[in-house]
Amino acid sequence: MILKICEVGNPVLRKRARSLSADEIRSKDIQDLIGHMRDTMRDAPGVGLAIGESLQIAVIEDKAEYQKGLTAEQLSERQRFPVAFQVIVNPKIELFAPADVSFHEGCLSIPRLMAMVRRSRSVRVICLDEHGDQRVIDAAGWYARILQHEIDHLNGRLYTDIMQPRR
């Protein structure tokens, strides 16, 4: 089932999402929701999706096919490589470097807009996975950018809040 993606203006995008217990994560309702989120992200298509139900859940996947139009130089510049499908629940993020890497970002919740956003080049995320098990993710480059973007959503923040003003 494809979910409706919340767009800018919807108040849920400005709310800090609530955490889930391991038992909630393993429930049929949340497992079904994760499947619907995966299908919605792939249908859009996007590399990440935070749910509009105000729950601390995001899905991420950066398929190789999404990178086919980029040159080896562009992939290297972005430190971009395929990322397998994953679920992050109740994520806590630690930046390993200052937010000093600028690049264009877009968002499924803000169609037809892109802006330059500074992000940290490397992060650590401690979270639960789709089974309710603890997971530690060390990420760099584009993967770190995706994680920061989706975790911002879960905290009620949009990339337009931190985008660089046009010069």
Q: Which fold has domain 11-161?
A: Peptide Deformylase (3.90.45)
CB hemisphere CA count around 48 (13 angstroms): 22
**What is the predicted pLDDT for the residue at 47?**
97
End-to-end, the C-alpha distance of the chain in Å comes to 42
> For 37-69, how does the pLDDT look when each residue is reduced to its tens digit (9 = 90+)?
999 999 999 999 997 679 999 999 999 999 999
Mean pLDDT of the region 133-154: 98
Q: Is residue 167's pLDDT more than 70?
A: no
Question: Per-domain residue ranges for the chain?
Answer: 11-161
Alpha carbons within 13 angstroms on the beta-carbon side of residue 40 total 21
pLDDT band at 165 (very low <50, low <70, confident <90, very high): confident
**pTM, rounded to two decimals:** 0.95
| Catalytic residue check, 94 | no
pLDDT of 7 above 80: yes
Q: Is the CB of residue 91 less than 8 Å from the CB of residue 125?
A: yes
Cβ distance 25 to 133 under 8 Å?
no
Residue 73, Cβ density class (10 Å: 0-12 exposed, 13-18 middle, ≥19 buried):
exposed
Query: Of the listed 61, 105, 130, 150, which one is catalytic?
Result: 150
How far apart are the C-alpha atoms of 17 and 22, rounded to whole Å? Answer: 16
DSSP 95-144: ESS-EEEEEEEEETTEEEEEEEEEEESEEEEEEE-TTS-EEEEEEEHHHH
